[in-house]
Amino acid sequence: PEPPASKPLPKPVKPPATEETPVKGEAKPPNDEDDAASDTQTTPKAVPSSAPAVEVPSFRLDDNADQSRPSVPQIQTSAQTQTTMKPPSQPLSQTKMADSTLMPPPPPPQQSNPAKSSSLMPPPAPPRLRPIASQTTSAPSLAPGRYPPRPNNTTSSSSLRPPPSAAASLRAPPSSGLSSSTLAPTKVTKPSSSSKRAVLEPGYSPLDWAALTSNPNNKLRGENLPPTLIRVTPSMLKAQNGRKGMDAWTSYQGKVYNITPYLPFHPGGRGELLRGAGKDSGKLFFEIHPWVNWDAILGECLVGILVSENDESDNKLDAMD
């Protein structure tokens, strides 16, 4: 395999000295000590340059067979190879090592490979572990913050539902069957399926209600009420329960509202809304949907102010026809 090496150089004298030198550096040997290097420079230079570590093994084989002869011209090569005989085992492993590093590992370097692979394994592992740990740690911390804070009053599934929004209000009612029949709120993962949302008739969407309330001429407070707010006693409120042609009134935070016009618009259904008819709805309201802005929806339905029973005489004539 080495034509340059095979070229015999007229340097019989040097070999002994070179025997040791090759051991030091295989690539260098011929050039270093030669006086005649000037003559032989061409060839020796060619030798080292053309003799990489890969070529060594082939010489070893030859030398093994020819070790007995210390021929001068070839001695250099043979001597080198002889000396390299010992090293070869090492250089071989080194070369294999190098190869294994460069190439997808052959079987022999397995020792080196596993070591390398093992050495390579750890680096990826730590980064993986780190992000995972960070995720695990950060995820739970993010989870609670992900949802907007809400009052803890609600124990029903409605607490799991997302807060109302314009988009949510525009959504079509999810289910038709179990809307308002069951009152007991059960813990359910799916808010939509278990929701008590009622199926609103066409024309009774939140937007429709907003359009309706935007017009003050609609008299959402009631037909026979004065334009000004009235004082409402508990007995008056109780009488306005939505039955027998009476409007349904309810009180909330000391104010009385006529909820009759809102009944077909109430997402929870008429029945749910009527649970507060003739009495205060604050508790029910907060239990179910504390995030709902009552006044924003029923502002135009404000009848008056809830007063004590003693104040009835003053306002009754004004309030009631």
CB closer to ligand HEM out of 97 and 284: 284
Contact 9, 43 (CB under 8 A): yes
Q: Give dist(CA 217, CA 238) in Å, integer.
A: 27
Q: Which residues bind ligand HEM (CB under 6 A)?
A: 158, 161, 164, 168, 195-197, 259, 266-268, 272-273, 275-276, 281, 284-285, 288-289, 292, 294, 297-298
CB-nearer residue toward ligand HEM: 88 or 267: 267
Least Cβ distance, residue 278 to ligand HEM (angstroms): 11
Q: How far is CA 320 from CA 12, 41, 171, 220, 253, in A?
A: 136, 127, 39, 16, 22
- Give the C-alpha separation, 39 to 148, whole Å: 90
In the complex, the smallest distance separating the C-beta of residue 256 from ligand HEM, rounded to whole angstroms, is 12
Least distance (Å) between residue 130 CB and ligand HEM:
41
- Report the nearest approach of ligand HEM to the CB of residue 177 (Å): 14
Helix ranges (H only) for the chain are: 3-6, 15-24, 29-33, 37-40, 42-50, 56-66, 72-102, 112-120, 125-146, 166-170, 191-194, 206-213, 234-239, 270-274, 282-288, 294-298, 312-319
**In the complex, which residue's CB is closest to ligand HEM?**
268
Is the Cα torsion angle 128, 129, 132, 133 positive or negative in sign? Answer: negative
Nearer to ligand HEM, 197 or 231 (CB): 197
Q: Which is nearer to ligand HEM, 25 or 162 (CB)?
A: 162
State in angstroms the smallest separation of the CB of 231 from ligand HEM. Answer: 21
* Smallest gap from residue 307 Cβ to ligand HEM (A): 20
Q: Which is nearer to ligand HEM, 67 or 169 (CB)?
A: 169
For 275-302, letters b (16+ CB in 10 Å) and e give ebbbbbbeebbbbbbeeeebeebbebbb
Q: In this complex, which beta carbon is closest to ligand HEM, that of residue 85 or of residue 246?
A: 246
